[in-house]
A and B are shown apart, each in its own frame.
Chain A
Amino acid sequence: MNNYDVIVVGAGLSGLIAAAAATAAGAKVMLAAKGAGTLTIGSGTIDLLGYDNAGRPVAAPAAALAALPADHPYGKLGLPAVQAAADFFLALCAAAGYPYCGTLAANRWLPTAAGTLKPACLVPATMDLAGTEDAAHVVVLAFAGLRDYRPEMVIEGLSRRPGFRGKHFSTAVVDAGFGPGRDATALDLARWLDSDAGRRECAEQLKKRLPPGCLVLLPPVLGTRPDYQAWRDLEAATGCRLVELAGIPPAVTGFRLRALFLAHLRRQGVAIHEQAPVTGAVVANGRCLAVVTGQPDRRREYRAGAFVIATGGFLGGGFESAPGAACESIFGLPLDVPADQLAWSEPRLLAARPQPFARFGLETDQDLRPIGADGRAALANVHFAGPNLAGYDYSCEKSGNGVALVSGYHAGTAAGEGRA
């Protein structure tokens, strides 16, 4: 039979990290994917904890973690575990030639294409404002034909924010010379800047339009590959600092991080099965023996010593629900939810209050194994990671990729080390 040490289900950020961690622990790993994962179109910034549970912005994630409730994934795993996951991630990115910036000691505030600042902990070097404080002149770059992006909105918002007040703002336009066709996206421009010719042309235009020593804010267009090549070339050509704005999907920076992880996993010999949606499992005596996939032709069983389930929550397909009840999709593990369906959600979608359903998820032990009513692990060799965990609201906390990283790393490590 096909037989792996660890099978990771899900190819979003938590699944990719889990597969990398299990491999680092020496395990033979298979990754089962259904779709490409939202990292493809997301920002790829690691937002560890942007706001505390009272809604206040967090300056120092390491200190703020201590104040989280014990049933929060971070509370369950503890600060050393969070630090270990961050170290693993930073080392992996650096070794791949695409180092991220940041520490748990301080959040970074990233300028966005909406003219706001958003908190994040670990970020690509292209998004980091550090070292640009002295620039008196900020040029917000536009690209001809770029859809859903207004430099005026960036200036309108940022000029009122701390760190940007009092600076001189202006705009400049770069024209990639795209012919007829669909509206351009940041990804189209990033592909243009992947090419030597595109980078040369862009550098020529920038040299004509940028005042010396300015800070350039631009949409996330600096190449699709995780190598900083376009960024370095354009900074060297212009002598200016270039900082990418957090943008709407396709946000390109997540695209790069996904490419980095997939290349790493392939180099490590991880068997990546695309189009292999896991629909069930074979369980005996409190252990999972195999997961069952539903490809279009037939079901297949894949056996392993341990499993990481990184299938997401309601949005990702990790949960199923019926009025007054919800369960995890693969094992049918019940979620502790109110029987009164009306108590699941705040009636106003965009209320300034957290949505109760956002915290729904699986209760787990410290190894992220689901626990039953008796408080003991219901499945001895199954570890959960990402939005299927209970006790955190990634939307209000701005902790989505952070919990994905930390829980993915620990689930993958626990699965990899427990392979005997």
Chain B
Amino acid sequence: MNKNCCDIDACTACSTCAALCPVAAAVREFPGPKLAGPAAERFRRAGARDDAALAYCTNCKTCEITCPSGVPVAAINMRARAEHQKKHGRKLRDWLLAHGEHMAKLALPAQPLADLGMDNPVTRQVLKAIGIAAGRPLPKYARRSFLRQFGKLRQQPCADKIVFFPGCFTNYNAPEVGLDLVAVLQANGHEVVVPKGLNCCGLPLVTGGYLEEAEAAAKRNIAVLAPYAAAGVPILAACPSCGLMLKQDYRELFAADGAAEVAAKTYDAMEFLLELRDAGRLNTAFKPGKARYLYHAPCHLRAQGIGRPTLELIGALPGVTVADLDAGCCGIAGSYGFKDDRYEISMAIGQELFARIKAEQADAVLTDCGTCRLQIAHGTGAKALHPVSVLRKAYEPAYKL
């Protein structure tokens, strides 16, 4: 375990995290990150009984973003939650949500039967019975996964290589995001490699309390990625949560060899493209358009400390404007918002964001995170896109893959 994860004494109990925690703002049963995290940890270490309040934490990391003393509050919570669940048992529902990759692998060969099977009244009754929120639409599986479609692509060979870490949501639910990223990178003289052997980043396992399985998933990914990192090949994630796992959580939660080297070469997709622009290497042959977008910064992108690259990149497209919604967490927090006992909290957290989106006229809402897009579409009915899809459109037809 990383020593930073233990350093609860760096917490001065200033309450800044409690003042800015989106869960604490939405639900008074949650004592807030300071009390559930560093404060309760002192009692846990002294052998006190486990704290059920931990179940409210979404691991959104707002506490870590706002802590003036660098305390990894969310990581403390995730470790403690895993211990708590080991002692108190887990629900089938939580196992299923933590193991979405397994589910997708089972479902995909039978898509669209799988979607039909998920969306009928009988299945919804079963899902309701195990604790999946009845009001929450389930994301559809793609007809063909990203990996299957990527395998059939003919890329222009380029000297500059990029490793793409697709992650589960892009691979199984939103392959177009991965394909759009490949097209944009090709338009910028980069060839995309997706190494064999990558699996889920492990975040759903971390938030579900399955830390050992998450560590195993992390180590498999690191083993695949480390040789590329050593060769200086950038590793891109289009999902901010996968990206944050590779950049920070692998090192913070697991003492995995090679994690630091992989982290040092990992980029958010839009971060990488902005660095290309800053280096004067971005292909700027964008066709003029006419669009107004709203941008929602996902919590796990904010936690990466890279600013908001999308605002700069999309805002620089000819004829395009983009406004920062700046309304905090959307509330879904991956699998959190799918749980029947968390659904209302999830929607309450998102109210500010929903209200701002509804008050604006725009062509679409842009956001890097897949489950943020689900939440925005569900909460507002607005079209939600990954910003890389807008970039790809701006290159067409000159650079059609």
Binding site for B on A (CB under 8 A): 1-3, 30, 34-38, 40-41, 178-182, 184-185, 187-188, 191, 249-250, 255, 262-263, 266, 271-277, 293, 295-298, 316-317
Q: If the complex has contacts A34-B70, A296-B247, are A249 and B302 also in contact, measured as CB distance less than 8 A?
A: no
Are A35 and B326 neighbours in the complex by a CB distance under 8 Å?
A: no
Query: Could you list 12 further interchain pairs (A-B, Cβ under 8 angstroms) beyond the known A180-B28, A182-B29, A271-B312?
Result: A2-B274, A2-B278, A30-B307, A35-B66, A41-B14, A179-B28, A181-B28, A182-B24, A250-B18, A262-B326, A275-B65, A277-B70
Number of A-B contacts (CB under 8 A): 111
Q: If the complex has contacts A1-B278, A2-B278, A34-B68, are A274 and B305 also in contact, measured as CB distance less than 8 A?
A: yes
Residue pairs across A and B with Cβ atoms less than 8 A apart, 26 shown, are A35-B66, A36-B16, A36-B65, A36-B66, A41-B19, A181-B27, A182-B29, A182-B30, A182-B31, A184-B28, A188-B28, A191-B25, A249-B14, A255-B19, A266-B326, A272-B307, A273-B307, A274-B302, A275-B304, A276-B307, A277-B305, A293-B305, A295-B306, A298-B263, A298-B264, A316-B68
Are A250 and B29 neighbours in the complex by a CB distance under 8 Å?
A: no
| CB-defined contacts of A255 to chain B, threshold 8 Å | 19
**Which parts of B183-233 form the interface with A (CB within 8 Å)?**
none
B266 at interface by CB-CB < 8 Å = yes
Q: How far is the CA of A1 from the CA of B274 in the complex (A)?
A: 10
- Shortest Cβ gap from B241 to chain A (Å): 14
- Shortest Cβ gap from A31 to chain B (Å): 9
Binding site for A on B (CB under 8 A): 14-16, 18-20, 24-25, 27-32, 35, 64-70, 247-248, 251-252, 263-264, 266, 274, 278-279, 302-308, 311-312, 324, 326
Contact of A41 among B16, B28, B305 (CB under 8 A): B16
Are A297 and B19 neighbours in the complex by a CB distance under 8 Å?
A: no
| CB-defined contacts of B304 to chain A, threshold 8 Å | 275, 295, 297
| CB-defined contacts of B311 to chain A, threshold 8 Å | 271
Contact of B69 among A30, A35, A273, A293 (CB under 8 A): A35
Chain A residue nearest to B18 (CB atoms) is A250
Contact of A271 among B30, B31, B66, B307 (CB under 8 A): B307
Are B305 and A276 neighbours in the complex by a CB distance under 8 Å?
A: yes
Are B68 and A38 neighbours in the complex by a CB distance under 8 Å?
A: yes
Are A263 and B326 neighbours in the complex by a CB distance under 8 Å?
A: yes
Q: How far is the CA of A270 from the CA of B313 in the complex (A)?
A: 15
- Shortest Cβ gap from B7 to chain A (Å): 14
Are A297 and B247 neighbours in the complex by a CB distance under 8 Å?
A: yes
Are A40 and B306 neighbours in the complex by a CB distance under 8 Å?
A: no
Chain B residue nearest to A263 (CB atoms) is B326
Q: How far is the CA of A1 from the CA of B276 in the complex (A)?
A: 9
Chain B residue nearest to A37 (CB atoms) is B68
- Shortest Cβ gap from A174 to chain B (Å): 17
Are B307 and A40 neighbours in the complex by a CB distance under 8 Å?
A: no
| CB-defined contacts of B274 to chain A, threshold 8 Å | 2
Q: How far is the CA of A180 from the CA of B20 in the complex (A)?
A: 21
| CB-defined contacts of A277 to chain B, threshold 8 Å | 70, 305
Chain A residue nearest to B312 (CB atoms) is A271
Q: Ordered nearest first, which 10 A-B pairs have the shortest CB separation?
A: A181-B28, A35-B68, A275-B305, A297-B247, A36-B66, A296-B248, A295-B305, A297-B263, A273-B307, A250-B19
| CB-defined contacts of A263 to chain B, threshold 8 Å | 326
| CB-defined contacts of B306 to chain A, threshold 8 Å | 273, 276, 295
- Shortest Cβ gap from B28 to chain A (Å): 3
| CB-defined contacts of B278 to chain A, threshold 8 Å | 1-3
Contact of A296 among B24, B251, B324 (CB under 8 A): B251
Are A181 and B326 neighbours in the complex by a CB distance under 8 Å?
A: no
- Shortest Cβ gap from B162 to chain A (Å): 17
Q: How far is the CA of A139 from the CA of B325 in the complex (A)?
A: 40
- Shortest Cβ gap from B113 to chain A (Å): 41
Q: How far is the CA of A188 from the CA of B68 in the complex (A)?
A: 22
Chain A residue nearest to B19 (CB atoms) is A250
Are A178 and B28 neighbours in the complex by a CB distance under 8 Å?
A: yes
